[in-house]
Amino acid sequence: MEFLVISGGLRDDARMTRAHVFVSTSIVLALIASGCSGSSADATSSTVTTIATTVASTSAPSSTVTTTTTAPPTTTTTAPTTTTTTTAPTTTTTAPTTTTTTAPPDPPPAAVGGLTVQIGGGSGEVIPEWDRNAEPDIAGYRLWYSDDPGAAKVLLAELPHDPSALSAPAYNHGDRIAYVDLRAQIEGKHCYQVSAFDLGGHEGQRSPEVCLPVTPTTVPTGFEVGLGGGSGEVAISWHRIPDADADHYNLWYSEWPGGTKTLLAAVAHDPSALTGPAYDVGGGVTMYIDFPRTLEDNRNCYQLSAVDSAGHESARTGELCSTGL
């Protein structure tokens, strides 16, 4: 037995719910009534199943309920950005400024000045002499020597600056230092230079070269020409010169006045070295006998010159000829 109950067109959800309840109640009552009429258990079961199926197949109109759940607005909480910059304290350590004062380099001594070279003493020794330098740190001097002008020098002596420390052959001469060079003097060939050195060992520039000056040899005096002896010889005499470096005399001859002279003889200066026909006649006078000669007036003419140890020759005397015959 099927029942179809149509709810009276209810549209809203509440009315439809009440219709469902009404139908369900009617069905239950119908079932009870059927059971009372003595239907078999199988029939009841089948009817109930059918009703249940029918009821299950009768659906209320679909009602779609759309529930939109709107989430609360998203709250973005941005934590404030805290930038922590940890700056290590800058420690500037300034090393103490060390000022190094560099002393200027010690300059070498100045060149030595006032160098002279001369003959001195009774033995004709050569004496170089120079001024002392004014620098306060001068330790001494070096004396350089060569035989010839312009030649390479060798160290002759090293002398102290302090006058009290000088010893022979060096000596103090006022504000100058002198050195006695005992070698045989040769004019124009004893050449010297001097340099100063200081306490630090720095040597200064050498002085200009100075050589023993060539001193003109003294022209002989007392020159005479006359007759000597009874054999017709000619006697020539002169005074020996005072020069310490005198070595000998040259006797020049020509037969006629003004004629070209030739060397007649080299006569020693030292009286002890004289040999005939040259003689020491005393009083510092040397005589030379020229023999044999033809004795005529204004014939047999002579000149005389002196020569030193270096070979420097003096000027000749005036010409003398034999006269008065």
Per residue in 88-113, pLDDT (tens digit) is 565 556 666 666 667 677 789 999 99
Q: How many CA atoms lie within 13 A of 302 on its CB side?
A: 23
Tell me what pLDDT residue 52 has: 38
pTM, two decimals, is 0.46
Please give the backbone phi and psi of residue 105, each rounded to the nearest 5 degrees, phi first: -60, 145
Whole-angstrom distance, CA of residue 162 vs CA of residue 132: 10
Give, in degrees to the nearest 5, the angle at Cα 82 between 80 and 88: 175
The H or E element that residue 300 is part of is: strand 299-308
Quick one: residue 222, left, alpha or beta (phi over 0 = left, psi -120 to 50 = alpha)? left
4-8, 247-251, 283-287: least confident range: 4-8
Q: Are the C-beta atoms of 5 and 19 separated by less than 8 Å?
A: yes
Whole-angstrom distance, CA of residue 160 vs CA of residue 127: 17
Tell me what pLDDT residue 106 has: 79
For all residues of the chain together, what is the average pLDDT? Answer: 77
Length of the chain: 325
pLDDT tens digits for 193-236? 999 999 999 999 999 999 988 778 899 999 999 887 667 789 99
pLDDT of residue 18 exceeding 70, the answer is no
Tell me what pLDDT residue 103 has: 63
Tell me what pLDDT residue 113 has: 95
pLDDT of residue 3 exceeding 90, the answer is no
pLDDT of residue 153 exceeding 60, the answer is yes
For the chain, what percent of residues have pLDDT higher than 90?
A: 50
Q: Which of 125, 262, 118, 248 is nearest to 182 (CA)?
A: 125
Type of residue found at 84:
T
Confidence band for 182, pLDDT divided at 50, 70 and 90: confident
The answer for residues whose C-beta is within 8 angstroms of residue 9's C-beta and 6 or more apart is none
314 C-beta neighbours (distance < 10 Å), count:
20
Please give the backbone phi and psi of residue 29, each rounded to the nearest 5 degrees, phi first: -65, -40
What would the two tokens of residue 146 be? 């060569």
Helix 13-36 and helix 41-57, axial crossing angle in degrees, nearest 10: 170
Q: Which of 319, 323, 316 is nearest to 254 (CA)?
A: 319
